[in-house]
Homo-oligomer: A and B are copies of this chain.
Amino acid sequence: MKIENHMLSINATGNTDIHDITIEIQNLIISSNISIGNTTIFTPSSTSAITTMEFESGCIQDFQDHFKAVANPNEFYKHNERWHDGNGHSHLCAALIGPSISVPVINKELHLGMWQQIVFVDFDNKPRQRKINVQIIGQ
């Protein structure tokens, strides 16, 4: 059994900016010494999240519209009242989706569905350079 830790780097614009990171993760698996195992994708941040979706413009906008409705940036947030940074909604959205997923690796491939991509979602309210952990455990 081996463990490999990698970091992806992403220039994210915020405001529910969604990035397809599937190919980058798949390439890390191909370059690794692991063919069967598990990949943990984890975002070390409290204003971004990891999930899967069909990465096409319709689903992307439906996802963005949903969060604009349930956590509108212009509404009142206790976080903003206290810190005046305007990203109270970003913190809420990130906690709702969560920071990690785990995806099986079988014969050097992420075992995803045909229309399923791994996405990083940046809910923050300004551009940031982001780092994402990709950890591969297996043999």
Instruction: Give chain A's interface residues, CB within 8 Å of chain B.
Output: 1, 3, 5, 36-38, 40, 42-46, 51-54, 56-59, 61-63, 65-66, 70-71, 77-83, 88, 91-92, 94-104, 106, 111-113, 115-117, 119, 133, 135, 137-139
Contacts and interface: CB of A to CB of B under 8 A. Distances in A.
Indicate how many identical chains form the complex: 3
Contact of A104 (B40, B45, B56, B96): B40
A34 to B, nearest CB: 10
B104 A78 contact: no
Contacts of A100: 101-103
B115 A88 contact: no
Contacts of A38: 3, 40, 135, 137
